[in-house]
Amino acid sequence: MLYYLFTWLDKLYDFPGAGLFQYISFRTGMAVILSLIITTVFGSRLINFLRAQQVGETVRNLGLEGQLEKQGTPTMGGIIILMGILIPTLLLAKLENIYIILMLITTVWMGIIGFLDDYIKVFKKDKEGLAGRFKIMGQVGLALIIGWTMYFHPNIVVREQVANPALATGVVQSHMVDNKVSYTQDVKSTITNVPFYKNNEFDYAKVLKFMGEGYEKYALLVFMLFVIVIITAVSNGANITDGIDGLATGTSAIVGITLAVLAYVSGNAIIADYLNIMYIPNSGELVIFAGAFVGACVGFLWYNSYPAQVFMGDTGSLAIGGIIAAFAIMIRKELLIPVLCGIFLVENLSVIIQVSWFKYTKKKYGEGRRVFLMSPLHHHYQKKGYHEAKIVTRFWIMGILLAILTIVTLKLR
């Protein structure tokens, strides 16, 4: 909204400084600052409100040091994160941009699912919260919206080189590159970026190449399946990681900064050409959303760092995971998620391994055996005697290393 206001002021009255709002970098910086102000200043008021409403966490006794001291800590603090994301985005981004619209839908959609889960736990006194099948249905529903829109919306395209402009269909653009004319065309496509691969691109449709001629018409099904798996996995991974103070929040901020860098280079024609990566028209606007996301996570960390004054609950963790997954899909970097979101992946795998091995050994030996002292993995280290703050700091360091490796893949092929 501010973007449109200052654009109008600049055109009609040549208002001093209004032209700055045309720059993505300026609006991203403003989004970070505004998000930090919202989460830190208004966060304390919301925490006091939650405490007055007795919206406290019910902590199960898992035998972890200092765990029962957290009993009654306000939860549903993810509302703070949602406010820190939505308000700056609505004020500073181009709201007609389809990528921004999809990210706003993702934030609200997953926030509502998480809110319902927390509401049932807190006010209905049901420790299980929203039934797992309904969470999955919500995640799949979002995936279908994103996948369908990306496949069919006319403004979601990628720019490809055209070898022979005479044979091309649609609008062909010419550019001067190293004193030579280069031709490009914006096309609908199911291609995505592949890390550590020379040509750096993969078409989902080619998964069905074994079916022979005409396999391309089934590309939508393959693309949808990938989108569903990615959104469900990352959303649940963030949810599982949110187990100790500041872990999911700090890790998500690191991921958010990396996604902002990836969105910027993918949405800038000159940089994308230099890095020889896919250029995605209009996707640069996502950097503003990423700025608001990072600001919200860092601002929430003000209250969520050890010892936490508030927990984000599923309201925040499910939304964060959904945002990261949807964002990566839109900038065609979703295959980098196993690297970038390595912390979420390991936490997810630790639970899967623990449960699977326990069930297998119980069936085979009559008693269940465990691989870890406790899952998810962060609880394993708590059981080994490590302090929460040390675990979180070391996980953050690993997250930073994975983020650097993710950015390096832009040139490492």
Tell me the per-residue pLDDT of 372-395, one tens digit each, with 9 for 90 and over.
Answer: 999 899 989 998 989 899 999 999
The pLDDT value recorded for residue 339 is 94
User: Mean of the pLDDT values across residues 239-267?
Assistant: 93
Q: With both helix axes pointing from N to C terminus, report the angle between 247-266 and 388-408 in degrees, rounded to the nearest 10.
A: 10
State which of 121-125, 190-194, 288-292, 379-383 shows the largest mean pLDDT: 288-292
Distances (CA, A) of 168 to 172, 186, 187, 338, 412: 7, 11, 11, 36, 32
Helix (H) or strand (E) holding 352: helix 342-365
Tell me the per-residue pLDDT of 13-63, one tens digit each, with 9 for 90 and over.
Answer: 777 777 787 889 999 999 999 999 999 998 888 888 888 877 766 666 566
pTM: 0.92
- Smallest CA-to-CA distance from 291 within 23, 107, 30, 1 is with 30
**Cα–Cα distance, 16 to 14 (Å, whole number):** 6
Residue type, 320: I
> What are the boundaries of each domain within the chain?
26-154+219-266+284-408
The pLDDT value recorded for residue 224 is 93
- Smallest CA-to-CA distance from 250 within 107, 393, 391 is with 393
**Cα–Cα distance, 203 to 189 (Å, whole number):** 8
The pLDDT value recorded for residue 34 is 96
**Cα–Cα distance, 403 to 291 (Å, whole number):** 16
